[in-house]
Amino acid sequence: MNNRELIDLLNREHQLDAAQWTQLFATYTEEDLEYAMALARGITVQRFGRKIYFRGIVEFSNICKNDCYYCGIRCSNRKVSRYRLTEEDILKCCAEGYENGFRTFVLQGGEDGWFTDERMCSIIRVIKARYPDCAVTLSLGERSRASYQAMYDAGADRYLLRHETADAEHYAKLHPAVQTLESRMQCLNDLKEIGYQTGCGIMVGSPGQTPETLAKDMVFMQAFKPHMVGIGPFLPHQDTPFKDESAGSVQTTLFALALCRIMLPQVLLPSTTALGTAEDSGRKAGVLAGCNVIMPNLSPMEVREKYMLYDNKAGTNISAAQGIAILRRQMEEIGYEVVVGRGDFGKENRK
Ligand code: SF4
């Protein structure tokens, strides 16, 4: 089968086998990319209309016990000035977000032991009490099942935990030996079983990635059926072991996003900050490849520069309000509208 036929097959069956996925990633052409993007865009518009959901990210701690080789805030990077936001700071970010129409707050941080279950649950409860019409998404890395359960019971709705790669050998090239793919997958299964709307995801072009490992990612996702998928290009950070590695391809990122939309038509798919960093029009291109979510930064200006997962992160030098205005305009330029709403999985307004 040629690539066009494989994309059509994916559109009918919503799955391919590993060899078919490998063929697509190893041999796709510009025409295949355009074909997949047009198909993905059509599916998104049919399901969600020309609507984009905004999620406001609050980067509340850049302290992390882990040492992922690709990450700028890994624990061995001594050049990072570390910070933690207080509950009051976090609530100020939410207030600003709410005024600007956000109905989802994403609390994102490193694996920072200071944020115990008790502290997290307290923050979640306050946000949910103050903004009962809003969803709380967590992105705090790996924790115990009991911890995930406690935060869910406190009111958290969604959890983002990128699996990074579904290939154990590749996982070991990206992380120290204490971090394992098995543990990551256990966390993802726990989150889904507890009832979170669960997101996984990958970086495209991470060191050691091949068409075969990308195929494993797609096979994993078609079985796991995540509610959200985060896919952005790998971008190197100057103070990591991967500082000399090349950035991931924007084209392959767009291809993976489009294929993901065709495979999981209902999925909530963000056009990521990394895509907007790799290319000025990256976020618009992501929407044209089937994305329907954008996640602007609501973190206070004074901490933005300290949350650099990769170099030159987009939007670091502008205020939350300015960043939101720019993104709204970008969406309007391509005929999309930012909507005020939680945008839960499976509750899209069909046209
Ligand atoms: S990627 Fe996440 S878990 Fe890994 S070092 Fe960075 S903040 Fe910590």
- Tell me the best of 59, 64, 306 to mutate to test the pocket of ligand 1, counting ligand atoms within 8 Å of each CB and taking the most: 64
Q: Which two tokens stand for residue 263?
A: 């495979």
Tell me which of 128 and 348 has the higher pLDDT: 128
Name the residue with the closest Cα to ligand 1, atom 5: 74
* Ligand 1 geometric centre to CA of 77 (Å): 11
Compute φ and ψ for 297, nearest 5 degrees.
-90, 125
Mean pLDDT of 249-268: 98
Cα-Cα-Cα-Cα dihedral sign, residues 108, 278, 255, 44: positive
| pLDDT, position 351 | 34
How close is the Cα of 154 to the center of ligand 1, in Å?
Answer: 24
Q: Probe ligand 1: pick from 57, 66, 70, 82, max atoms within 8 Å of CB?
A: 66
Q: What average pLDDT does range 156-173 have in this prediction?
A: 98
Letter for the amino acid at 19? A
Summarised one tens digit per residue, pLDDT across range 262-274 is 999 999 999 999 9
| Spatial distance between the Cα atoms of 114 and 156, rounded to a whole number of angstroms | 19
SS3 75: coil
For the record, the structure tokens of 83 come out as 């910070």
Beta-sheet pairing, 337-339 with 293-294: unpaired
Token representation of residue 245: 């590695």
Pocket test for ligand 1, best of 61, 107, 111 (most atoms within 8 A of CB): 111
The pLDDT assigned to 324 comes to 87
What is the position in ligand 1's atom list of the atom closest to the CA of 62? 7
Looking at residue 348, its pLDDT comes to: 56
| Closest ligand 1 atom number to CA of residue 309 | 6
pLDDT at 256 over 90: yes
C-alpha 164, offset from chain centre: 11
Round the average pLDDT of the chain to a whole number and report it. 95
What spacing in Å lies between the alpha carbon of 234 and ligand 1's midpoint? Answer: 14
pLDDT > 90 in the chain, percent? 87
Q: Are 85 and 322 in contact (CB under 8 A)?
A: no
Task: Give the tokens for residue 259.
Answer: 């294929």
Closest C-alpha residue for ligand 1 atom 3: 66
Give the whole-angstrom CA distance, residue 35 versus residue 24: 12
How far away, in angstroms, is 218 Cα from ligand 1 center? 23
Rounded CA separation 155/169 (Å): 36
* Closest CA to ligand 1's atom 2: 110
- Tens digit of pLDDT for each residue in 194-225? 999 999 999 999 999 999 999 999 999 999 99
Note the pLDDT of residue 350. Answer: 40
Helix, strand, coil percent values for the chain (each to nearest 5): 45, 15, 40
pLDDT tens per residue across span 1-18: 999 999 999 999 999 999
- Choice between 346 and 348, residue whose per-residue pLDDT is larger: 346
Tokens of 70: 């690709």
Distance 111 CA to ligand 1 centre (A): 7
Measured CA to CA, the distance from residue 85 to residue 105 in angstroms comes to 15
CB atoms within 10 A of CB 146: 10
Measure the CA–CA gap between 47 and 141, rounded to whole angstroms: 30
Query: What domains does the chain contain, in order, with CATH numbers?
Result: 3-339 (3.20.20.70)
Q: What confidence score (pLDDT) does residue 88 get?
A: 95
Give me the residue label for tokens 């079983």.
Answer: 193
- Work out the burial of residue 349: count CB atoms within 10 Å of its CB; fewer than 13 is exposed, 13-18 middle, 19 or more buried: exposed
Mean pLDDT within 93-118: 95
pLDDT tens for residues 171-180? Answer: 999 999 999 9
Identify the pLDDT of residue 349. 43
Ligand 1 pocket test, pick from 62, 65, 70, 73 with the greatest ligand atom count within 8 Å of Cβ, gives 73
Using the atom order of ligand 1, give the atom closest to the CA of residue 141: 3
193 Cβ contact partners less than 8 Å away, ≥ 6 residues apart: none
Residues at CB less than 6 angstroms from ligand 1:
64, 66, 68, 71, 73-74, 110-111, 141
Amino acid 27: pLDDT: 98
Query: If pLDDT is split at 50, 70 and 90, which confidence band does 302 have?
Result: confident
